[in-house]
Amino acid sequence: MGEGAILRREFCKVLMGYKHVDCPSYVMNNMPRGTISDRWTGLSCGNGTVSSGWSDGKLEFLRRYKFTIAFENTALSGYTTEKIIQPFQAFSIPIYWGNPDILSLFNPKAFINCNEYGNDFDSIIERVKELDNDNDKYLEMLSQPPMQESFDFDRREKAKEFLYKIIERGPYPFAKDALRISSSYRTFNEYNRVTEELNTTKEAMKRMGYDSNSNTWKLVQKLQRFGDSKWGYIPKRIFHILIRIYKKLKIVKARY
């Protein structure tokens, strides 16, 4: 049993000193079985398959209540589960304990954050009483948007795009094998370098006054178009390698 599960039980006991708390699940159960569909089927808690009707049934149940005890099983940075999301979906104010960085995602005006009260149960319950007995304050919190204004709702798509760009670069895919990424990156750079050399040659011919209607100029243009196509990459690569070999042989010959 995690720290949050223990605190959840203790908080519930203290809160019952103010008002009765309905507990439909296994822990501190005080309601008829079947009030909410069992979450897990087939195996023990957390190890089976989630029941198909569990989520909808829980949301329908939470809609009856002004507040929901939403304690995570553990307080871990970045660890946020359905425990805070489902109360928001059901228009029930979450009393949240868990992720210490929860405010990086969720609006602090939209829920009771136990971290703000140093996890002091008495102070938290005083806040619950304040909202419970003041409809204006309660409705003000309930009407707040759950997420921070800075929350990026498109970040899932951006993450997909980012990962795609890591794996694919236009018509020239990187090697899927992580050990070959560096060599693929070098190959991609070689392609860019050869393309620049062709462009330089083209500009040089233009400066030298070649007629744009001449056969030589048309040949250069065709080579350029071919070089820019996916079929031209390998010939350009071979050409570049041959040029380097020629230069090395020329240097060796000059030495002798």
Q: For residue range 17-64, list pLDDT tens digits in order.
A: 999 999 988 788 899 877 877 765 555 555 556 666 778 889 999 999
Q: Which residue, of 142, 163, 196, is where some domain finishes?
A: 142
> Looking at the structure, do residues 126 and 212 belong to the same domain, yes or no?
no
Residue 143 CA to residue 135 CA, distance in Å, equals: 12
pLDDT for 178 equals 44
Q: At what angle do helices 233-255 and 181-207 cross, to 10 degrees?
A: 80
> Looking at the structure, do residues 93 and 215 belong to the same domain, yes or no?
no
pLDDT of residue 179 exceeding 90: no
In this prediction the pTM is 0.59
pLDDT band at 166 (very low <50, low <70, confident <90, very high): low
| Domain harbouring 76, CATH code | 3.40.50.11660
> Looking at the structure, do residues 56 and 123 belong to the same domain, yes or no?
yes
> Looking at the structure, do residues 126 and 41 belong to the same domain, yes or no?
yes
pLDDT of residue 91 exceeding 50: yes
> Looking at the structure, do residues 63 and 176 belong to the same domain, yes or no?
no
The answer as to whether 148 is a domain residue is no
Residues in the chain: 256
> Looking at the structure, do residues 133 and 197 belong to the same domain, yes or no?
no
> Residue 249: phi, psi to the nearest 5?
-65, -35
pLDDT of residue 108 exceeding 90: yes
Q: Are strands 93-97 and 67-71 parallel, antiparallel or unpaired?
A: parallel
pLDDT of residue 255 exceeding 60: no
What is the total count of domains within the chain?
2
Cβ-contact 22, 62 below 8 angstroms = no
Q: Which residue, of 142, 170, 201, is where some domain finishes?
A: 142
Segments forming the whole domain that contains residue 189: 155-255
pLDDT of residue 213 exceeding 70: no
